[in-house]
Chain A
């Protein structure tokens, strides 16, 4: 699950924020921390020095994505993952999210108001007046 505002704990380091999801899922400590570091490195988040509270918006969302991925889910849910980001960060996070199904072999469900983000999806559904209907690309 990736939230619109990241919902990370600012008092913890980015590595710790990601690792706790793995620890809660029962992974051994060493594996959890190593996987967290690898994921953050892959997603372009600094793993040393910068506290979570001082990360940029894009970095925080990528950290949230890393936290969602560390348990290797079959389905990744993202609720307005780019809603609070600037244009550049939005592109970067959207690009990252929509490559995940291919790279990680999982499904991705994104809820968004952003047409540009929505266009990247294989299938699109519009929610209008409480009715959900598939829209042709």
Chain B
């Protein structure tokens, strides 16, 4: 390294500590480096987690016995059950040979009537007495047998002798061509997840990085001008910038690595989605941490060098920096993004989806620049009007706004992008969560007044035993499910059981059509297209034919019975399942609810990062603002003047940006709802966001004013 290069690095290093605004710039670069490192390591956590899950899935997945196998090694039957609306798998096993190994995570095969539970299922189901639901608790399933430490899973060996019709024969657990079990049956592809991460955290980290790189850049721009005058090339400028950025970039990378380091030590449960990260998975990929962190540092330093754009006017050698102009290509890009969004309905489905996402990202990224051009013109008009009227604060603010649109972009970018993200997240989650909410609404009105119990092992004796354990006030109906699926299902029961369900009970058949909500629910649940649902009346259960399902009916709105009935059903019948009508609907939409939780989780982080960016850009702007305004306070002691400049220079541009952001967000939200024909646009949320953003703008102005007054009191003239 030549002495000049060493000298330039040293100058940059010293400038990073001593120049005006260097503390803000240092903090900004440190923060941006930390957030970028965390984001890139979050991507690594995703890769590590998917890899670990795949390996465990391969090791625990049952291998079906083919037709060539005369006798399978294990009988397998998988049921679904739920704690609340969160479903889980219950894997029934019956080993047929001593030599077959139990699934990973189990120390031994369960004995007849025994059950192994995952820690998460045991914890979540403690109130529903999950410990006793499936049989005698034999122990916990180890992490090696779970897709993630938070997976809810049970291995049960039911206490039955024979009768394995409907069971599936398997050769072993683990190997080639395994079946997916448990939560792994319902996992988003890794590409989809990484795309979502890039579109949320990645974009936020990029915004923060760009703002941090430009923070406190006035002193840097002056150095650039000096270097240019001395004949320095872009290489010399880059060295100076590297010297300035290397310490905060490295320090930020160390801080940003901390969350990953925590995941190496212990299981980490993510708030919101509740997903538990397995430390074994992150440890397996710990070799990739140093290159990932190094990559983040390199990206930060590249941004410090590359985003320090200067160009010449052609008329002089004086460099022209971005703070004084807004590139026109950004407007073109914004219009292109808008066109892409508008054309979405006319494009093929997948292409249209990508066009919508890409167009949205470009549109919102370019919107601050478009706002800045409007604001720049607004500044010019404001100054002209103030000059005519003699308004000093407005004149100064107008001239500043017109002269430095780049600063306005940085100040308003976070507000505009934040509005866009909040509104888009609301529209998307309303689309994802609505069916789930409808299902839950339905179940809330019905509660546990209708419960359907099924088992392949229903017989007269166990049915009688079960009936004796039902809560007082509950009655039971039997359901005959014909093998011929075209035949209607028949319900059997007594008038006593039907009391309240239907208006009249006479003869030997009762129609449920004119009954209450429970009867209507039974019709909806058991009816096949075009047929009717009748109850055959008999007072004696012994007169029932062989039934495949039971219905436990209680007074409308009765809650808290499901867990009790489920437990008694499992006690009475092997492999029992207890469901409320609509459960499959509610549990099916649980996946959408989970996705909504992920969206809310990521958006919360994104908004936090954007608020950091906002704080940084505001602090940097205050620095310029107060330095320029302080000498003028010698001319007047009126604080109103300072706050007037703050209002016109800081608040007015932000309010224009808020108006632009809210208008585009409202249009795009409605466009999305109309295009996808699902979800809804929350006007109340939009109003709240607009009010909050406007409040934030006023707060920025007030803080700028207060800061200027404070700085002015102890301001002293200093040399450049």
Residues of A within 8 A of B261 (CB): none
A6 to chain B, nearest CB (A): 9
Question: Which residues 18-43 in A have Cβ within 8 Å of B in the complex?
Answer: 20-21, 23-25, 28-29, 32
A79 at the interface (CB under 8 A from B): yes
A92 at the interface (CB under 8 A from B): no
State the CA gap A68–B489 with chains docked (Å): 99
Residues of B within 8 A of A4 (CB): 717, 719
Residues of B within 8 A of A11 (CB): 396, 399-400, 402-404
A24 to chain B, nearest CB (A): 4
B635 at the interface (CB under 8 A from A): yes
A98 at the interface (CB under 8 A from B): no
B378 at the interface (CB under 8 A from A): no
B328 to chain A, nearest CB (A): 22
Interface residue from B389, B390, B399 paired with A12 (Cβ < 8 Å): B399
A12 to chain B, nearest CB (A): 5
A7 at the interface (CB under 8 A from B): yes
User: Could you tell me if A20 and B632 are in contact, using CB atoms closer than 8 angstroms?
Assistant: yes
Question: Which residues 377-406 in B have Cβ within 8 Å of A in the complex?
Answer: 387-390, 392, 395-396, 399-400, 402-404
User: Could you tell me if B396 and A24 are in contact, using CB atoms closer than 8 angstroms?
Assistant: no
User: Could you tell me if B399 and A24 are in contact, using CB atoms closer than 8 angstroms?
Assistant: no
User: Could you tell me if A7 and B400 are in contact, using CB atoms closer than 8 angstroms?
Assistant: no
Known interface pairs A5-B719, A79-B717; A21-B390 also in contact (CB < 8 Å): no
> Main SS of the interface on chain A?
loop
Residues of B within 8 A of A32 (CB): 390
Question: What is the 8 Å Cβ interface bit string for chain A, positions 77-103, against chain B (1 contact, 0 not)?
Answer: 001000010000000000000000000
Question: Which residues 59-78 in A have Cβ within 8 Å of B in the complex?
Answer: 67
A123 to chain B, nearest CB (A): 24
User: Could you tell me if B395 and A5 are in contact, using CB atoms closer than 8 angstroms?
Assistant: no
Residues of B within 8 A of A12 (CB): 395-396, 399
User: Could you tell me if A3 and B390 are in contact, using CB atoms closer than 8 angstroms?
Assistant: no
Residues of B within 8 A of A3 (CB): 631, 717
A35 to chain B, nearest CB (A): 13
Interface residue from A7, A23, A28 paired with B717 (Cβ < 8 Å): A7
User: Could you tell me if A1 and B396 are in contact, using CB atoms closer than 8 angstroms?
Assistant: no
State the CA gap A28–B634 with chains docked (Å): 20
Residues of B within 8 A of A7 (CB): 631, 717
Among A16, A28, A79, residue most surrounded by chain B Cβ atoms (within 10 Å): A16
B332 at the interface (CB under 8 A from A): no
User: Could you tell me if B392 and A9 are in contact, using CB atoms closer than 8 angstroms?
Assistant: no
Question: Which residues 207-229 in B have Cβ within 8 Å of A in the complex?
Answer: none
B315 at the interface (CB under 8 A from A): no
User: Could you tell me if A16 and B719 are in contact, using CB atoms closer than 8 angstroms?
Assistant: no
Q: Quick one: closest B residue to A80, CB to CB?
A: B717
State the CA gap A11–B398 with chains docked (Å): 9
User: Could you tell me if A24 and B717 are in contact, using CB atoms closer than 8 angstroms?
Assistant: no
B358 to chain A, nearest CB (A): 38
Question: What is the 8 Å Cβ interface bit string for chain B, positions 601-640, against chain A (1 contact, 0 not)?
Answer: 0000000000000000000000000001001101110100
Residues of A within 8 A of B635 (CB): 20-21, 24-25, 67
User: Could you tell me if B395 and A16 are in contact, using CB atoms closer than 8 angstroms?
Assistant: yes
B555 to chain A, nearest CB (A): 77
B720 at the interface (CB under 8 A from A): yes
User: Could you tell me if B390 and A28 are in contact, using CB atoms closer than 8 angstroms?
Assistant: yes
User: Could you tell me if A29 and B389 are in contact, using CB atoms closer than 8 angstroms?
Assistant: yes
Interface residue from A20, A28, A67, A84 paired with B392 (Cβ < 8 Å): A20
Residues of A within 8 A of B631 (CB): 3, 7
Residues of A within 8 A of B137 (CB): none
User: Could you tell me if B390 and A1 are in contact, using CB atoms closer than 8 angstroms?
Assistant: no
A64 to chain B, nearest CB (A): 10
Known interface pairs A5-B719, A11-B399, A79-B717; A23-B390 also in contact (CB < 8 Å): yes
B641 at the interface (CB under 8 A from A): yes
User: Could you tell me if A24 and B636 are in contact, using CB atoms closer than 8 angstroms?
Assistant: yes
Residues of A within 8 A of B634 (CB): 1
Residues of A within 8 A of B632 (CB): 9, 20, 24
Among A24, A28, A79, residue most surrounded by chain B Cβ atoms (within 10 Å): A24
State the CA gap A5–B631 with chains docked (Å): 11
A58 to chain B, nearest CB (A): 17
Interface residue from B387, B402, B628, B719 paired with A9 (Cβ < 8 Å): B628
Residues of A within 8 A of B396 (CB): 9, 11-12, 20
Q: Quick one: closest A residue to B638, CB to CB?
A: A24
State the CA gap A9–B641 with chains docked (Å): 15
User: Could you tell me if B641 and A5 are in contact, using CB atoms closer than 8 angstroms?
Assistant: no
Residues of B within 8 A of A21 (CB): 635
State the CA gap A33–B185 with chains docked (Å): 78
Known interface pairs A3-B717, A5-B717, A5-B720; A24-B628 also in contact (CB < 8 Å): no
Residues of A within 8 A of B641 (CB): 24
Q: Quick one: closest A residue to B398, CB to CB?
A: A11
State the CA gap A67–B399 with chains docked (Å): 18
State the CA gap A44–B90 with chains docked (Å): 93
B97 to chain A, nearest CB (A): 88
Question: Which residues 676-720 in B have Cβ within 8 Å of A in the complex?
Answer: 717, 719-720
Question: What is the 8 Å Cβ interface bit string for chain B, positions 631-653, against chain A (1 contact, 0 not)?
Answer: 11011101001000000000000
User: Could you tell me if B390 and A24 are in contact, using CB atoms closer than 8 angstroms?
Assistant: no
Known interface pairs A5-B719, A32-B390, A79-B717; A20-B638 also in contact (CB < 8 Å): no
Residues of A within 8 A of B402 (CB): 11
Residues of B within 8 A of A5 (CB): 717, 719-720
State the CA gap A48–B584 with chains docked (Å): 79
A114 to chain B, nearest CB (A): 16
User: Could you tell me if B395 and A24 are in contact, using CB atoms closer than 8 angstroms?
Assistant: no
State the CA gap A23–B396 with chains docked (Å): 12
B383 to chain A, nearest CB (A): 9
A23 to chain B, nearest CB (A): 5
Residues of A within 8 A of B636 (CB): 24-25
User: Could you tell me if B720 and A9 are in contact, using CB atoms closer than 8 angstroms?
Assistant: no
Q: Quick one: closest B residue to A79, CB to CB?
A: B717
Known interface pairs A3-B631, A7-B717, A9-B628; A23-B392 also in contact (CB < 8 Å): yes
A65 to chain B, nearest CB (A): 14
Q: Quick one: closest A residue to B630, CB to CB?
A: A7
Known interface pairs A24-B635, A24-B638; A16-B390 also in contact (CB < 8 Å): no
State the CA gap A24–B636 with chains docked (Å): 6
State the CA gap A25–B717 with chains docked (Å): 22
B717 to chain A, nearest CB (A): 5
Residues of A within 8 A of B404 (CB): 11
Residues of A within 8 A of B400 (CB): 11
B90 to chain A, nearest CB (A): 73
Residues of A within 8 A of B628 (CB): 9
Q: Quick one: closest A residue to B402, CB to CB?
A: A11
State the CA gap A67–B634 with chains docked (Å): 11
A53 to chain B, nearest CB (A): 9
State the CA gap A67–B628 with chains docked (Å): 16
State the CA gap A103–B351 with chains docked (Å): 79
Q: Quick one: closest A residue to B717, CB to CB?
A: A3
List 9 other contacts, CB 8 Å, given A1-B634, A20-B396, A28-B390.
A5-B717, A7-B631, A12-B395, A12-B396, A23-B390, A29-B388, A29-B389, A32-B390, A67-B635
Task: Offer 8 A-B interface pairs, CB within 8 angstroms, sorted by A.
Answer: A3-B631, A11-B396, A11-B404, A12-B395, A24-B392, A24-B635, A28-B390, A32-B390
> Which 7 pairs between the two chains have the least Cβ-Cβ distance?
A29-B390, A7-B631, A11-B399, A24-B636, A11-B403, A3-B717, A23-B392
- Using a CB–CB cutoff of 8 Å, the interface residues on chain B facing chain A are 387-390, 392, 395-396, 399-400, 402-404, 628, 631-632, 634-636, 638, 641, 717, 719-720
